[in-house]
Amino acid sequence: MPMEPASRLPMPEAANAAGLEGASMRGLASRWYIDPAAARVEHERLFAGEWVAIGAASDLANPGALLPVDVNGVPLLALRDESGAVHVFHNVCSHRGLKLVEGPCNVRGVLRCPYHSWSYALDGRLRATPSIGGPGVHRVEGFDKDRHGLKPVRSAVWFDQIFVNIDGRARPFEDLVGPLQARWRAFDPGAFLHGTSDSYLRFEVECNWKLAVENYCEAYHLPYVHPGLNSYSRLEDHDNLVEPDRYAGQITRVYNPILAEDGSSLPSHPGLDDYWRHGAEYVALFPNLLLGLHRDHFFAIRLEPQGGGRTVEHLHFYYLGEGAAGERFAPLRATNARIWRQVFAEDVGVVEAMQRGRRSPAFDGGLFSPVMDTANHCFHRWAAARLG
């Protein structure tokens, strides 16, 4: 099934150079990167009001596994129930508001609050309220346990990533990912398995999370910031990928890294056409998930904002079949992780310098190239539509 080419979309206002000067061609104002008050608005509209990625489902290895996550200070709790399903709840006890779980852990059957020992089933139901009616009296007239379980959060799992919509008002998840799912229909998301312990990288970057998105979306900087990568996947091998209001990024027509001197390679996904045998795609699914899809591996980078000027990036690698955990593929996984670590480390200097640049009174949004920055323009339009 041939893949339609990525579009080199002209921006509506930017068919010519004059468009560069138009008001709609300016980027988001600097306050959206440096002002704590702006970060609070952003949390409500771009995080609580949308589908945000909070973690990898494979980190919930067994039934009863619990994973606490904070989204801009909102404490959430992802867990795997006895049937294997993933649920997300607000991480707070219904009684006196204790944050229930502070670190990843496993429970058997119930989650017990350490304060007064109220306990919850893994489906969120409040199961026991010891001594609520006095010593040894575990019921009280008029108190309906069914109304006071853990408060559920809308959630979905896709390509092993757990998404939540905190305010419950975002569009259906299928609507958000539908176009990308269709674009990536040649791949079975379930075929990608999380690699072993060599398949997680963490970066701490002194920049607003949006700069990490913006830098990921464009290939423009490739020859200047990534000379190594540019030696086998050149700027002219890339094109923009834009799906308004959902995602943006880039494709490369040349994906062919050499992972081993002896020519061995990681297992590839079956049934791919020429497009996917030779190319790869990199998209930012708004707001906070950066994805990379290749014939032999997939990665997801979750951006975790830490205040307006700092971001933690969590990078998980996924491989196919024996490639995910097989000992004989360990050197190839390690090389792959090393190559990507190098690429992403090269980006740190420029995103941190863009953050510092946003303190300048001479900059307030900047300019977009009508050809090279279309993906970033798409991201800014998505944000601006919500921020007003």
Which residues of the chain form contacts with ligand FES (CB under 6 A)? 93, 95-96, 98, 113, 115-116, 118
Residue 102 or 188 with smaller CB distance to ligand FES: 102
**In what helix (H) or strand (E) does residue 248 lie, and over which residues does it extend?**
strand 247-252
Rounded least distance, CB 79 to ligand FES, Å: 17
Residue 96 or 185 with smaller CB distance to ligand FES: 96
Chain-centroid distance, C-alpha 200: 14
Residue number of the CB atom closest to Fe ion: 347
Task: Decide which of Fe ion, ligand FES, none touches 98; Cβ closer than 5 to 8 Å per partner kind.
Answer: ligand FES
Rounded least distance, CB 97 to ligand FES, Å: 6
Alpha-carbon gap, residue 67 to 102, rounded angstroms: 9
The amino acid present at 38, given as its one-letter code, is: A
313 touches Fe ion by CB under 5 A: no
Rounded least distance, CB 345 to ligand FES, Å: 43
* Close Cβ partners of 137 (under 8 Å, ≥ 6 residues apart): 131
Rounded least distance, CB 279 to Fe ion, Å: 18
- In the block, which residue shows the tokens 């996924």? 318
Q: Tell me the backbone φ, ψ of residue 22, rounded to 5 degrees.
A: -70, 150
Instruction: Evaluate whether 279 touches 252 at the Cβ level (below 8 Å).
Output: yes
Residue 12 or 349 with smaller CB distance to Fe ion: 349
Instruction: Evaluate whether 153 touches 90 at the Cβ level (below 8 Å).
Output: yes
Residue 116 in 3-state DSSP?
A: coil
Site string for Fe ion, 19-58 (x = CB under 5 A): ----------------------------------------
- Identify residues 345-384 at the interface with Fe ion (CB under 5 A): 347
Alpha-carbon gap, residue 258 to 280, rounded angstroms: 15
Alpha-carbon gap, residue 343 to 339, rounded angstroms: 6
Task: Decide which of Fe ion, ligand FES, none touches 347; Cβ closer than 5 to 8 Å per partner kind.
Answer: Fe ion
Residues that bind Fe ion (CB under 5 A): 347
